[in-house]
Structure 1
Amino acid sequence: MKMEMFVKCANRTLLAATAVLALGTGFASAETWRFATKMPADSPEGLVFQYFADRVGEYSEGDLTVQVYPSEQLGKEDAILEQLELGTVNLYAEDAFFLQKWVPEIKWIAPHFLFQSREEWVEFTNSDLVAGWFAKAEDAAGVRALGDPMAVVRGPYRVLISKVPIESYEDIAGIKLRMYPDELAISVWKSLGADLQMLAWTETYQALQTGVAEAVTSPAALVQAMKFYEQAPYITRTNEYWQGLPFMMNAAAFDGLPEKDQAALLKAHEEAGAYSVELMAQNSNEMRAILEDQGVTFTDMPLEPLFEHMADWYRELDAQGELPEGFLDVALAKRAE
C-alpha cells in the first residue's frame, strides 16, 4: 500500500513538472485538453459540453483547446478513470458516483428518493460533509472538480422508461431493469423488487430491443437523444434523485496551466452551468408533447407512497450503522431548512 501511494504521488509530481516545463519551453499555446464523455454529441448534455469547449477556446484566446470525445470514444468508465488519474484524459463529466473508486462514501451524494426538490439537494451537496468527500478524491487520485461541482444540471428530473406502464411503485417488482455498477442504486432497486440487468449505457437500446431489459432509469433530458422510448413506450416521472455533472479534472494538469487559462476554464464552466439549466428545462418541457405525438404514454405514478417507503428504508440503514456518520442528520437538516 505504501509503495502504491508513493508511485501515485510520483506520477502526479511528474505530471505537474511536465506541465511546468511545457510552459517554460513555449508549448502552452498548443495545449489541448481531452474531455471524455458518455453522451452523444447531439444530446442535450453533448451540446453543453461543446458549449463549454467553445467558451474555453474563446476565453483563453486560443491558447487552450478542449477536444470533446463523446459516446465513450476513449473507452468505458474504468478505462477513463485510469486515464484521468494518469493525466492522459484531462476532463471527465459524469455523475459523481464514479468517484466511489476512490471515496466509497460518495455513493450517498445523490440519495435515491430522499430529497423532494433540487434546491434541498443542492444545499446538501454544499455541506461540509460532501466537500470532505471531494477532498478525499483529490488526495487519493489527484482529481478535482472544476468550479461548483453541481453547476451543470443533468435531468432536470429522473424518469423510468418501460415496456409496460408503471402506475405505482409496487409495479416495479419483477421488472427487468437496466442497472449500472453503483452499490446504492443496486440496493435501492433491489429493495423495490426489480430484476436488475447490469448493462453499459450504450448497450441499453439493444437490450430493450431484445428483451434483455424491460426498463431503464434516465434523466428526462436524455429521453429523446437515446431513443429508448422506441422500444419502451411508457415513461413515468420518479424524481428518483437529483443530478449534477461534476467536471472532474486532473488536478496537476490544471495547476500547471497559466492563470489566465485556469480562469478561462472556470468562467467557461460557470457559463456552461447556466446554459445547462436553460437547455435542460427547455428540452424537458418540449419532450412530452413531441413523444406523445409519436405514441409514447406518460404515466403519473403517485410519488408520496414511494418516498414514505424509502424513508423507512433509510432509517433502517441508519439504525444498522450502514450510513456514513452524520449523513442522515445532515440530509434531514437540509430538507428542513
Structure 2
Amino acid sequence: MPQAHPATTCLVEALDAIRTESDGRIDITLYPDSQLGSELSMQSQLRSGAIAFTLTSASSLQTLVPLAGIPGVAYAFSGYGPLWSALDDGPLSARIRDSLRPFGLRAFRIVDNGFRDVITSVRPVETVADLRGLKIRVPPSPLLTSLFKALGASPTTINLAETYAALQTRVADGMENSLPQIEATRVYEVQKYLSRTGHSWDGLWLLAHGRTWDALSGDAQALIGRHFDDAVARQRQAFAEMNAQGEARLRAKGLVVNTPDRAPFRAALAASGYYAEWKAKFGPEAWSALERHTGPLGA
C-alpha cells in the first residue's frame, strides 16, 4: 500500500512496538509502495519464504486461492456490520482461512480497504450504460474483471504503483477503488468524475509464511499476533474516519461527485448470470455461508 494508506501507517506503529517490546530481537522491515513487486509477485515470494509476511488484497489473492475472493462478490454486503460478522468469526471466515493453509499461508485479521467506487476522466457513471466501453483499471482479480465485463466495461489489470501514469496517459479511462485509496494514490489529480457505485468491498489479508511462522517461539508469535491484531483494529478505525470525510475532501480537490442508484447495477449483474457463475465457482456450501450474512444474492 502507499505510505499514506492507514494500513501502512498502522503497521509501522505495530512493527515499532514489536521491535521495542522484544528489545530488538524481532525486527520486521516494512516495504510500502510496491517496493518488492506486484501483489502476485509478493504472494509468490511469500510462498517461497523469500519474505516472511505480506499484506495482499483479497481480490488478487483469489488468483491463488479462489475462495479468498468471496467477500468481494458485487453488492453482497449492505454495510460493515454483516461484513465484519462474516470475516472475523463464523463459518465463512473459517473456510477462507482453511483454504489458505494448503498454500503454506497463515492469516491474521483482515484489513479494511473499503467499498469501491469508480473514478474516470471521461464521464460520470450514472447508469449501467455509462460504463460501456470504458477501460477501467482493476487489480488482478477475477471477480472484479468479471463484474466490469458483465456491465459492459473493458477492465484492464494494471499494477497499483503504475496506475497514476496509466490514467494520466489515458492507457485507462478510469479506475475503481475505495475513497482512501483514491486519496492515497492521488489519482484525483488526473481524473474528473467520482461515481459512488459501491460495487464491491475489498480487504487486505495480513499473511505469514507458514514455516517461518511455525519456527518462531510461542512468545514471539504471541507478541507479533497481539500487535498485528491491534494494528488492524486501529487501521479499521482510521480507515472509517478517512472514508467518512473522503468525499468532501475529494470534492474540494475538484472532483465532480455523483451517487447513482445501485439497484439497476445489481439487476444487470443478475441478468448477465454473474451471480450464478460465481455461486457455481465458489460452491453451494461457501455460497450458503456467504448468504448467511448477506441474504439471497442474484435473485
TM value normalised by structure 2: 0.89
Partner residue in 2 for 1:92: 54
SS of the residue aligned with 1:114? coil
Count of residues paired in the alignment:
293
CA distance in 2, matches of 1:172, 1:197: 13
Q: Kindly, what percent of the aligned residue pairs are identical?
A: 25
Structure 2 residue corresponding to 1:114, chosen from 76, 89, 95: 76
Matches within 5 A, 1:124-273: 124-125=86-87, 126-139=89-102, 141-146=103-108, 148=109, 150=110, 152-155=111-114, 157-163=115-121, 164-273=123-232
Matches within 5 A, 1:258-337: 258-312=217-271, 313-317=273-277, 321-336=280-295
> Residue 126 of structure 2 contacts residue 260 of structure 2 at CA under 8 Å; is this kept in 1?
yes
Structure 2: which amino acid aligns with 1:88?
A
The Cα of 1:330 is off from its aligned counterpart by: 2.4
> Residue 162 of structure 1 contacts residue 215 of structure 1 at CA under 8 Å; is this kept in 2?
yes
Structure 1 residue corresponding to 2:43, chosen from 81, 86, 100: 81
1:269-297 Cα distance to aligned partner (Å, 9 max, x none):
12112211221122223322222222111
Structure 2: which amino acid aligns with 1:124?
A
> Residue 114 of structure 1 contacts residue 311 of structure 1 at CA under 8 Å; is this kept in 2?
no
SS of the residue aligned with 1:106? helix
CA distance in 2, matches of 1:133, 1:42: 29
- Larger Rg computed on CA atoms: 1
> Residue 56 of structure 1 contacts residue 64 of structure 1 at CA under 8 Å; is this kept in 2?
yes
> Residue 181 of structure 1 contacts residue 198 of structure 1 at CA under 8 Å; is this kept in 2?
yes
CA distance in 1, matches of 2:269, 2:94: 25
SS of the residue aligned with 1:298? strand
CA distance in 1, matches of 2:252, 2:239: 20
> Residue 95 of structure 1 contacts residue 243 of structure 1 at CA under 8 Å; is this kept in 2?
yes
> Residue 72 of structure 2 contacts residue 200 of structure 2 at CA under 8 Å; is this kept in 1?
yes
> Residue 59 of structure 2 contacts residue 144 of structure 2 at CA under 8 Å; is this kept in 1?
no
Structure 1: which amino acid aligns with 2:229?
E
Q: 1:106 to 1:274 in 2, by over 3 A?
A: closer
Structure 2 residue corresponding to 1:68, chosen from 18, 30, 37: 30
CA distance in 1, matches of 2:229, 2:42: 24
SS of the residue aligned with 1:249? strand
> Residue 121 of structure 1 contacts residue 242 of structure 1 at CA under 8 Å; is this kept in 2?
no
Structure 2: gaps of 5 or more residues: none
CA distance in 1, matches of 2:19, 2:284: 43
SS of the residue aligned with 1:144? strand
The Cα of 1:231 is off from its aligned counterpart by: 1.1
Q: 1:85 to 1:112 in 2, by over 3 A?
A: same
RMSD over equivalenced CA pairs, Å: 2.2
Structure 2: which amino acid aligns with 1:122?
W
TM value normalised by structure 1: 0.79
